[in-house]
């Protein structure tokens, strides 16, 4: 309990209510008096406070600071044990590194949340902006192609250039996240891709510069999956991991929905350039806000995992090179489970990236929908994915908490994620004479169920090695970016050559979904692995 000593300077006495829920410990230290004016009157009280609060107790006490309205007790907490001083004269002393404590309003609303939740929440928001900047071109490419006279092959080249940078940044992003922490890498990535997005309207008339700007967007967004994986691996326990991964990576689906909903009216009213200006500005705003969130508490407080000394964050350039050599690369590629993740990631990305880039055009040209209608129906798969993601994560975590083998859970989820869209693409590509809206519904259902992969493949990196999770995702995502480069451009080329959406868009995806399922069931594993060179 806190020890309070109150002495009145005159005959008037003011009562202080006692708040019994504040649990603090008493320690021995000298006390310094403070004069505190109450109720705007001249009556003066002297108040002495002595308390020491542990780190967890501070979090609990912070939630109760809203009790007193209008009253604020300014003070300092010294390094030597937590002594609270209320002397206003001492607040301006030079060299004082203390902080302010007392009764304050709990604003902003997330102020009292544990730091790991703030990091997970802001990371998910970054992923929302990430996919907004990824899908804006898939809608804007239609009026841009008309303005600049691009055919499908050129349009495919422009869209695929994003994935060149995306593939190049995967391994560097995973390694840098391992060394410096995912939150630091993520904020730099958001700033890079946002600035590059805002440059697109200025460079659209010059093809090499336009491609370079999209490569920069890909580089910035390419580090984000590994950075997020690092944050999750360091902060989230196994039984909550599916939900954390689904919440963070589910931001991609929400970003697709938001981008596809906002882009058509912006383009129709303000021109296609507006989507790049607005979406780029949102990323810069996120970067500014993240500086406040990440400084609420040092990163080290949120890291329950004990990392090897060779991977500390403060390193010279020489030590960084040594750390890179310390990564057990050979052990990674001797693991069948890692190879299963690599190929599965490639297969899933082929279906995802080709559909993400070409579905608006497919709906517009093949199903004869206008720009707004094509964008609206393109919202269906990512919008339904949000619901599927929440169900899948609860399903997976529930099975694991009941003792079901983690590898079996991941295999079930990934199988659903692959066989569902494959089946729906087969139905859509066959000529059954289905009306457009039935085709849209079938594709929406299949692509939405592919979100089960967030509780399958995307959790396996953390399952088998929390320490190297960001690097493992960097490896698999590097290969997973190849379909964005090859598949998106190849779809455009095949479309010009065959004029068949079934051959150019659906047939390759079906093949990879089916073969990916076979490889995953045969070789995937979530068993923790040390990846020591001697294994």
Cβ(519)–Cβ(344) under 8 Å? yes
| pLDDT value of position 112 | 67
Element (H, E) at 85: strand 84-85
The DSSP code for 50 is E
- Could you tell me how far CA 234 lies from the centroid of its own chain? 14
Token digits of residue 239: 């039984």
* CA–CA separation, 508 and 155 (whole Å): 19
* CA–CA separation, 371 and 375 (whole Å): 6
| pLDDT value of position 311 | 40
Token digits of residue 456: 């399958």
Do the domains 116-299 and 328-528 sit in the same CATH topology, yes or no?
Answer: yes
CA-based nearest residue to 484, from 263, 30, 156, 143: 156
Query: Most distant CA pair in the chain: distance in Å?
Result: 97
* CA–CA separation, 176 and 425 (whole Å): 38
Element (H, E) at 67: none
Q: Rounded to 5 degrees, what are φ and ψ at 3?
A: -105, 120
Strand partners of residue 5:
48
Cβ(525)–Cβ(464) under 8 Å? yes
CA-based nearest residue to 133, from 192, 71, 207: 192
* CA–CA separation, 371 and 73 (whole Å): 59
Q: Is 206 helix (H, G, I), strand (E, B) or coil?
A: coil
Its pTM stands at: 0.62
Q: Is 532 helix (H, G, I), strand (E, B) or coil?
A: coil
CA-based nearest residue to 86, from 43, 28, 36: 36
pLDDT in tens, 441-499: 899 899 999 999 989 998 898 889 888 887 898 899 889 888 888 888 899 889 989 98
Token digits of residue 314: 């403060």
Token digits of residue 13: 């006495």
2.60.40.10, 3.40.1500.10, 3.40.50.2300, 1.20.1250.20: which CATH number matches 328-528?
1.20.1250.20
* CA–CA separation, 173 and 221 (whole Å): 10
* CA–CA separation, 97 and 204 (whole Å): 51
Domain 116-299 adopts which CATH fold?
Growth Hormone; Chain: A; (1.20.1250)
Cβ(106)–Cβ(63) under 8 Å? yes
Left (φ > 0), alpha (ψ -120 to 50) or beta: where does 84 sit? Answer: beta
Would you write out the chain's pLDDT as a tens digit for each of its 535 residues?
Answer: 444 544 444 444 444 444 444 444 434 444 444 444 444 444 444 444 444 445 455 555 555 554 434 434 444 344 444 444 444 444 444 444 444 444 455 555 666 676 777 778 888 899 999 989 888 888 898 899 889 989 888 888 888 888 888 888 888 888 888 888 888 898 999 999 999 999 999 998 889 999 999 999 999 998 888 888 888 877 777 777 778 888 888 888 888 888 888 888 899 899 999 999 999 999 999 998 888 776 554 443 334 443 444 444 444 444 454 456 678 888 999 999 999 999 999 999 999 889 878 887 888 888 887 767 776 787 788 888 888 888 998 899 899 999 999 999 999 999 999 999 999 999 988 877 778 888 888 998 999 999 999 899 988 988 898 888 878 988 998 898 888 888 888 998 899 899 898 999 999 999 999 999 999 999 999 998 887 654 4
Cβ(461)–Cβ(229) under 8 Å? yes
Element (H, E) at 45: strand 44-50
Q: Pairing mode, if any, of strands 76-77 and 44-50?
A: unpaired
Q: How far is residue 448 from each of residues 272, 299, 385, 403, measured CA to CA in Å?
A: 28, 35, 4, 28
Radius of gyration, CA atoms only, the chain? 28
Domain boundaries, the chain: 116-299, 328-528
Q: Is 285 helix (H, G, I), strand (E, B) or coil?
A: helix
Q: Please count the other Cβ atoms lying within 10 Å of the Cβ belonging to residue 298.
A: 10
Q: Please count the other Cβ atoms lying within 10 Å of the Cβ belonging to residue 67.
A: 12
């Amino acid at each position: 309990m806190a020890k309070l000593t109150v002495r009145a300077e005159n005959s008037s006495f003011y009562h202080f209510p006692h708040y019994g829920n504040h649990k603090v410990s008493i320690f021995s230290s000298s006390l310094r008096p403070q004069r505190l004016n109450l109720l705007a009157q001249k009556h003066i009280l002297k108040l002495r406070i002595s308390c020491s609060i542990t780190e967890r107790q501070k979090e609990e006490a912070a939630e109760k600071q809203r009790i007193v309205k209008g009253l604020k007790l300014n003070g300092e907490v010294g390094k030597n044990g937590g002594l609270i001083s209320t002397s206003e004269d001492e607040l301006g002393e030079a060299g004082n590194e203390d902080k302010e404590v007392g009764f304050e309003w709990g604003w902003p609303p997330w102020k009292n949340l544990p730091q790991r939740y703030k990091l997970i929440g802001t990371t998910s928001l970054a992923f929302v902006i990430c996919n907004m900047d990824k899908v804006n071109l898939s809608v804007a490419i239609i009026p841009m192609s008309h303005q600049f006279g691009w055919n499908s092959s050129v349009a495919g080249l422009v869209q695929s250039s994003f994935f060149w940078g995306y593939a190049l940044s995967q391994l560097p992003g995973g390694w840098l996240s391992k060394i410096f922490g995912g939150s630091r890498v993520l904020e730099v990535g958001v700033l890079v891709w946002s600035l590059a997005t805002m440059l697109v309207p200025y460079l659209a008339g010059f093809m090499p510069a336009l491609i370079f700007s999209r490569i920069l967007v890909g580089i910035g967004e390419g580090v984000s999956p590994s950075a997020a994986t690092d944050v999750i691996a360091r902060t989230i326990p196994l039984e909550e991991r599916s939900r954390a991964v689904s919440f963070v990576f589910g931001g991609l689906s929400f970003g697709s929905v938001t981008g596809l909903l906002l882009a058509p009216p912006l383009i129709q009213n303000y021109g296609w350039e507006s989507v790049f200006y607005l979406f780029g500005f949102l990323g810069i705003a996120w970067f500014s806000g993240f500086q406040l969130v990440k400084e609420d508490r040092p990163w080290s407080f949120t890291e329950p995992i004990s990392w090897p000394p060779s991977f500390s964050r403060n390193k010279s350039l020489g030590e960084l090179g040594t750390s890179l050599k310390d990564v057990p690369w050979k052990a990674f590629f001797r693991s069948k489970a890692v190879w299963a993740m690599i190929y599965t990631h490639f297969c899933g990305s082929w279906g995802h990236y080709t559909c993400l880039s070409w579905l608006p055009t497919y709906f517009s040209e093949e199903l004869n929908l206008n720009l707004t209608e094509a964008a609206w129906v393109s919202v269906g798969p990512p919008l339904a994915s949000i619901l599927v993601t929440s169900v899948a994560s609860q399903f997976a975590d529930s099975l694991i908490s009941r003792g079901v083998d983690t590898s079996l859970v991941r295999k079930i989820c990934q199988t659903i994620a692959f066989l569902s869209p494959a089946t729906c693409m087969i139905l859509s590509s066959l000529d059954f004479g289905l009306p457009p809206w039935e085709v849209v519904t079938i594709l929406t259902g299949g692509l939405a169920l592919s979100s089960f992969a967030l509780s399958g493949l995307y959790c396996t990196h953390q399952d088998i090695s929390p320490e190297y999770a960001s690097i493992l995702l960097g490896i698999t995502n590097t290969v997973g970016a190849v379909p964005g480069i090859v598949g998106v451009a190849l779809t455009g080329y095949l479309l010009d050559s065959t004029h068949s959406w079934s051959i150019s868009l659906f047939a390759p995806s079906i093949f990879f979904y089916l073969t990916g399922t076979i490889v995953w069931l045969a070789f995937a594993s979530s068993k923790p692995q040390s990846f020591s060179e001697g294994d």
